[in-house]
Amino acid sequence: MEDQGFGNIEEEILEIVKRYERMRDNNENYFFDVAEFETLIDYYLEINDVNYAFEVAESACQQHPASTSIQVKKAKVLIDKGRPLDVLKITKVIEKIEVSNYEVFLLKGAALGMLGDLNGTRKYFDIALSLDETEQINILINITGILNDLNHYKLLTRYLERLAELEPEDTNHLYDLAFAFEKLGEYKSSIKYYKKYLDMEPFSDNAWYNLGLLYTREGMMKKALDAYEFSVAVNPDNFFAIFNMANILSKEGKYREALEAYHHYLEYEDESSEAMTYAAECYEKTGDRTRAFKMYNDAIDLDPDFSEPWYGLGLLMMDEKPEESIKYLSKAVSLKDDEYEYWYYLSEAYYNCHRIKEAFRSLIKSVNINPYYDLAWLKIGKIIIEGGYYTHASGILEKGMKVIGDVHGIRYILASTYLYSGDKVSFRLHFEKAMNESPSLFGFYRPLFPDNMIDRKIHKLIKKNING
């Protein structure tokens, strides 16, 4: 009988809709009472036809200009049309009449939220909640829906927590809280609510997967791996979890396990050049250069514009065939020229081929992108010393330091240029300053200062700063 009653209601609604659309098509004027207009507006909002809903609201206002309920419906339509100022004009009038109608204050709060006035939003949402003790859950559901749509996650958590207290058995609220805190970057709180949710819904592979992502962001790799494994156990087709498992296993040096996971992932996503590249890296780490070479090339065949397999091939060829390495790394930097490590390893390939000028230029590119990349600075220092470019380099470094300061121990390199050029006064000045300002970096640049080239006083300074 209940189904039959619901069917009758649906038929009545459709009959009203047909009559309205017939009137519209024939360009005629029919009378609809307030309840019928409200039904029409709700119907068009339900099917996401905001323009039709607005047209109905305008007609309703013409036929029933004194109806506050029609004004409330019109304000709802205006919210969906993104016109908060017009909503505020309506609510300013009807809140004086409908003083106990929480919907009016929800609409005002929503409009203020759209304008970024979150203090006003909270004020009017709290008024709405104070107006009807029996409708707390319904009002909170409306509030959380509005705030979620507006991406106001901080305020959203305030009302979601109240909703979770009122409906502790509704796990959706816990999931929504976890998601909101994740959006806020408050990962510990997000983890807390995902765990609460999973205590009640242990077979949610999406929740396990999201928990894995959060543990990864927090650097808790063992827990992340466990979460991904649970996700895959619940849903063996969750290939995103499989891919992330593979990445963690690779980072932990478990290359054979990682390879198994990458190949499992490739069964689902056989055109993933990214997974092929990472699998190739694992083959390289296990010493299987032949398979690594093939997998890198397979990735390139699939996506020639993806820089990482070109970079991988460059590293693979670095020691045995540096000229080929240059070719691959040059391709990588042509595809992505803002990767400082690409430039650094291209400089290594040039250096191995005794093409020192190109190596130096590549190093400069690397430190221009990342001034704190210590390997590149150390290599610059070595090239300066090996090539005997002391005088020229010291001038460049002096000028550079005036612009960027002593970035990651550049002063040690500058001091070394004066040491090798025989300018003992400038050497001592910069070396002592470097030791006083950055003693912890000396060990990294130690190879630039051979024992037989520094005097007893400098040895004493080194010993004092290192032994502290």
pLDDT band at 405 (very low <50, low <70, confident <90, very high): low
Mean pLDDT of 303-330: 96
Mean pLDDT of 373-379: 83
Q: How far apart are the first and last CA of the chain?
A: 88
Q: What is the band of 462 on the pLDDT scale with cuts at 50, 70, 90?
A: confident
The larger pLDDT score, comparing residue 54 to residue 390, is at: 54
Task: For 157-211, write each residue's pLDDT tens digit.
Answer: 999 999 999 999 999 999 999 999 999 999 999 999 999 999 999 999 999 999 9
Write down the residue that tokens 């976890």 correspond to: 178
Q: What is the mean pLDDT of residues 246-252?
A: 96
**pLDDT above 70 coverage of the chain, percent:** 96
Instruction: For each of the domains in the chain, give its residue range(s) and CATH number, in order of start.
Output: 168-236 (1.25.40.10), 371-467 (1.25.40)
pLDDT for res 404 = 66
Structure-token match 């009653």, residue found: 5
Query: Dihedral sign, CA of 41, 46, 47, 50?
Result: positive
pLDDT of residue 345: 97
pLDDT value at 6 more than 60:
no
Least confident of 90-99, 379-388, 429-438: 379-388
pTM for the whole structure: 0.77
Asked if residue 382 lies in contact with residue 411, where contact means CB atoms within 8 angstroms, the answer is no
CA dihedral 359, 361, 367, 369 (to 10 degrees): -120
What's the rounded Cα separation, in Å, for the pair 84 and 113? 9
pLDDT of 413 > 90? The answer is no
Indicate the average pLDDT of the chain. 92
Tell me the pLDDT tens digit for each residue of 265-285. Answer: 999 999 999 999 999 999 999
Q: Using CA atoms, how far apart are residues 61 and 324, in angstroms rounded to an integer?
A: 76
pLDDT attached to residue 468: 53
DSSP tag of 210: H
pLDDT at 384: 82
- Residue 8 confidence (pLDDT) above 70: no
pLDDT of 2 strictly over 60: no
pLDDT, tens digit, for every residue of 172-187?
999 999 999 999 999 9
Closest by CA to 214, choosing from 242, 246, 236, 244, is: 244
pLDDT in tens, 23-66: 988 888 899 999 999 999 999 999 999 999 999 999 999 999 99
